[in-house]
């Protein structure tokens, strides 16, 4: 039986007759069944993901602080450094955006800012009900927990009580357990009971545990200590009550962000199950460092330094995180969980200048941005490249350093591969297992877009040409050693600056137009293939023509990949139809899927359609496609029974037409 063939005009109706594609390349389902995964189910590791708030690349000793000269102010992070020596330094690890909400939202959904629903400064916006890192691992049998900052809960429904008031409360997005701050602004306060700074704005900082608000019980609790003690309690409870399951625990610190508040007392003696921070569980004495001296302890290494008080506080707050890391590592060891636990330590973006006290915080004092230019809210390296550290004794060789680029959304694919479970089709990232385990890896293509007012700071360590540069609309794409970036974008064709980051990490020397450097057309085309316009975050380059690709070896037909596994969502292991769609006339085309079809349609790197998620975010499903070949993949939860799979029509067209089979091809 052959496909019906009609004339291809601006408006098209795609029908796939699955019997007529026998000439297409087929992926053997038998081969998929017989293939052996590198990580067997009985070896599935635990994951402890430690995310700091506003910690810069330069704030980590082994990344930068240890290289400061004797006459330059500096501080130590000995336990974080030890973590790096026992694991791998990912020195070219990027966030998705240079501010909290979009960075964290992209992490949870595994999506770049080209696809993500939370963008720019959309604090407290609800994550749509799509597969998250937590829900995906939860469905794979993991015990999941979140301790610390959330800020992705959605608008509060005052007619409902408790956690039901928020549509995107953590336990509704895959976490079995949650203790922490729900609202973004609450994470600016590091003493929830006292709410020292927020009370000036006539509010306090509620802390939630599961369905209960517990702030009244937290007198004298410093959040770094509170969240560390709660994480230790989670690990101990997991070992006791659910030892047959692997765990995923995210420790989402709210420090050193904003308040430059410090602990109540020295770090308790010892680390681990019987030492260090302890969960007491009594109201008014919830943890063993809760007392009547909040915001008072300067680390002794910095007491006699001739620094401003704000700098002593900043260094002390990071040293507290450093001690907490050691406490957590010893806890894992005491529980015999350390060898097969992947520990990741990173930050949500670059350092901040916020302090909430009379003395302003100066990121240049310790050079918290490291060898880079920019801070929080900048798309220069200092704002988007905090680096990361990964330790996994079972798989990662100690003492390694990689400059292979990676990005926050890559952790979704990484954790799924580790858990031997399917990667959601809606996720963008690629697995970092090759990087972590020392295999050959070319790295990720980095993409960032963001918009905010203000200007880049004028720190003397920054190149003169970058100081005081107006931010506005910003866009970044990195391929290999080259990074293309544009600031204060007004028009879709505004040019990119181009830097060789291997030779010029501070982005001082613009190479745009130089011989041997990819030209503007290259960067415009590359960026066009990542950006999907979002109705809540308008861009000057919305609707830009998406440039086609070339493939001299393309063959007529599509590629059919039989499902490798069944999951509760469309995944990269689902039934797939892929290849190229040939566009003969450029223009805007709107896509849809046939009624009842559950799937994800991706064209280039853009998630065009989602009929699979419980709550698909309403991105525009219209693309401006240039003439030529456009790679696509349709991930279907089930093998389709109907021939009518994808619908496509040009703007203003009234009828759908069939695409001739000759207009499909594959490699």
| C-alpha to C-alpha distances, 637 to 310, 399, 561, 614, nearest whole angstrom | 54, 42, 12, 13
pLDDT at position 643, please? 57
Beta strand residue intervals within 203-318, DSSP E? 208-209, 212-213, 247-256, 279-282, 285-287
pLDDT at position 442, please? 75
pLDDT at position 138, please? 98
Q: Is the dihedral of CA 457, 461, 467, 472 positive or negative?
A: negative
Residue given tokens 């003395």 in the structure block: 359
- Is omega for the bond preceding 256 within 30 degrees of 0, making it cis? yes
**Which neighbouring-strand residues pair with 534?**
537
* Residues 6+ positions from 280 with CB-CB distance below 8 Å: 286, 287, 288, 290
pLDDT in tens, 134-153: 999 999 999 999 999 999 99
With vertex at residue 395, the alpha carbon angle to CA 392 and CA 396, rounded to the nearest 5 degrees, is 65
Of the candidates 152, 100, 105, the residue with the CA atom closest to the CA atom of residue 126: 152
* Residues 6+ positions from 599 with CB-CB distance below 8 Å: 425, 570, 574, 593, 609, 611, 612, 634, 635, 636, 637
Domains and CATH numbers, the chain: 12-38+549-666 (no CATH), 48-213+248-256+310-419 (3.40.720.10), 448-528 (3.30.1120)
| C-alpha to C-alpha distances, 81 to 76, 193, 338, 587, nearest whole angstrom | 9, 33, 17, 53
Cβ atoms within 10 Å, residue 4: 12
Of the candidates 26, 78, 56, the residue with the CA atom closest to the CA atom of residue 353: 56
pLDDT at position 8, please? 33
* Residues 6+ positions from 592 with CB-CB distance below 8 Å: 609, 621, 646, 647, 648
Secondary structure (H, E, C), 153-193: CCCCCCCCCHHHHCCCCHHHCCCCEEEEECCCHHHHCCCCC
Crossing angle (nearest 10°) for helices 309-334 and 78-85: 40
For residue 635, the SS3 value is strand
Q: Tell me the whole-structure pTM to 2 decimals.
A: 0.93
Chain-centroid distance, C-alpha 663: 36
Cβ atoms within 10 Å, residue 479: 18
pLDDT at position 642, please? 66
- Rounded to whole angstroms, the Cα distance separating 44 from 245 reads 9
- Rounded to whole angstroms, the Cα distance separating 508 from 245 reads 50
**Which neighbouring-strand residues pair with 451?**
473
Residue given tokens 């809540």 in the structure block: 536
DSSP state of 661: G
Cβ atoms within 10 Å, residue 440: 7
Low-confidence ranges of the chain (pLDDT < 50): 1-42
């Amino acid at each position: 039986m052959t496909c019906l063939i009609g004339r291809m005009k601006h408006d098209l109706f795609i029908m796939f007759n699955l019997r007529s594609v026998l000439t297409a390349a087929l992926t053997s389902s038998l081969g998929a069944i017989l293939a052996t995964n590198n990580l067997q189910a009985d070896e599935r590791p635990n994951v402890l993901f430690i995310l700091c708030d506003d910690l810069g690349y330069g704030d980590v000793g082994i990344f930068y602080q240890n290289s400061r000269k004797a006459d330059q102010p500096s501080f130590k992070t000995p336990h974080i450094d030890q973590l790096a020596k026992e694991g791998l330094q990912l020195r070219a690890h990027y966030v998705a955006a240079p501010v909290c909400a979009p960075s964290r939202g992209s992490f949870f959904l595994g999506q770049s800012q080209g696809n993500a629903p939370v963008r720019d400064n959309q604090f407290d916006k609800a994550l749509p009900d799509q597969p998250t890192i937590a829900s995906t691992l939860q469905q794979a049998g993991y015990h999941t927990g979140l301790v610390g900052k959330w800020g992705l809960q959605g608008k509060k429904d005052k007619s409902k009580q408790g956690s039901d008031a928020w549509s995107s409360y953590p336990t509704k997005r895959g976490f079995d357990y949650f203790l922490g701050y729900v609202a973004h602004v609450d994470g600016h306060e590091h003493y929830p009971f006292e709410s020292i700074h927020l009370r000036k704005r006539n509010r306090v900082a509620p802390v939630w545990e599961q369905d209960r608000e517990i702030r009244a019980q937290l007198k004298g609790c410093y959040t770094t200590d509170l969240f560390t003690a709660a994480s230790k309690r989670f690990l101990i409870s997991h070992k006791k009550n659910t030892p047959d399951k692997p765990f995923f625990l995210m420790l989402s610190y709210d420090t050193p962000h904003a308040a430059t508040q410090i602990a109540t007392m020295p770090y308790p003696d010892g680390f681990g199950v019987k030492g260090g921070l302890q969960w007491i569980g009594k109201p008014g004495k919830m943890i063993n460092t809760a007392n009547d001296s909040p915001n008072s302890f300067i680390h002794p290494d910095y007491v006699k330094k001739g620094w401003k008080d704000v700098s002593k506080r900043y260094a002390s707050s990071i040293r507290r995180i450093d001690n907490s890391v050691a406490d957590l590592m010893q806890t894992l060891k005491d529980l015999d969980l350390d060898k097969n636990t992947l520990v990741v330590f990173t930050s949500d973006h670059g350092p901040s200048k916020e302090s909430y006290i009379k003395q302003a915080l100066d990121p240049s004092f310790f050079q918290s941005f490291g060898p880079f230019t920019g801070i929080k809210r900048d798309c220069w390296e200092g704002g988007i490249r905090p680096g990361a550290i990964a330790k996994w004794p079972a798989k990662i060789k100690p003492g390694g350093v990689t400059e292979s680029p990676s990005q926050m959304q890559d952790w979704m694919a990484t954790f799924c591969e580790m858990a031997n479970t399917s990667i959601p089709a809606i996720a963008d990232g690629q697995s970092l297992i090759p990087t972590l385990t020392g295999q050959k890896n070319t790295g990720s293509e980095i993409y960032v877009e963001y918009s905010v007012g203000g200007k880049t700071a004028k720190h003397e360590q920054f190149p003169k040409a970058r100081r005081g540069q107006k931010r506005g609309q910003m866009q970044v794409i990195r391929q290999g050693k080259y990074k293309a970036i544009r600031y204060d974008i007004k028009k879709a064709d505004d040019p990119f600056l181009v830097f060789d980051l291997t030779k010029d990490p501070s982005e001082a020397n613009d190479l745009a137009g130089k011989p041997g450097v990819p030209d503007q057309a290259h960067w415009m085309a590359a960026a066009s293939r990542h950006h999907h316009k979002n109705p809540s975050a308008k861009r000057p380059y919305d609707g830009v023509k998406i440039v086609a690709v070339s493939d001299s070896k393309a063959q007529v037909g599509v590629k059919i990949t039989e499902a490798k596994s069944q999951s509760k969502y469309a995944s990269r292991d689902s039934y797939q139809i892929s290849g190229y769609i040939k566009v003969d006339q450029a223009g805007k085309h709107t896509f849809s899927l046939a009624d009842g079809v559950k799937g994800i349609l991706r064209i280039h790197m853009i998630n065009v359609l989602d009929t699979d998620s419980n709550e698909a975010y309403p991105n525009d499903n219209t693309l401006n496609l240039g003439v030529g070949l456009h790679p696509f993949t349709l991930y279907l939860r089930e093998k389709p029974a109907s021939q009518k799979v994808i619908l496509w029509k040009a703007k203003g067209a009234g009828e759908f037409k069939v695409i001739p089979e000759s207009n499909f091809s594959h490699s």
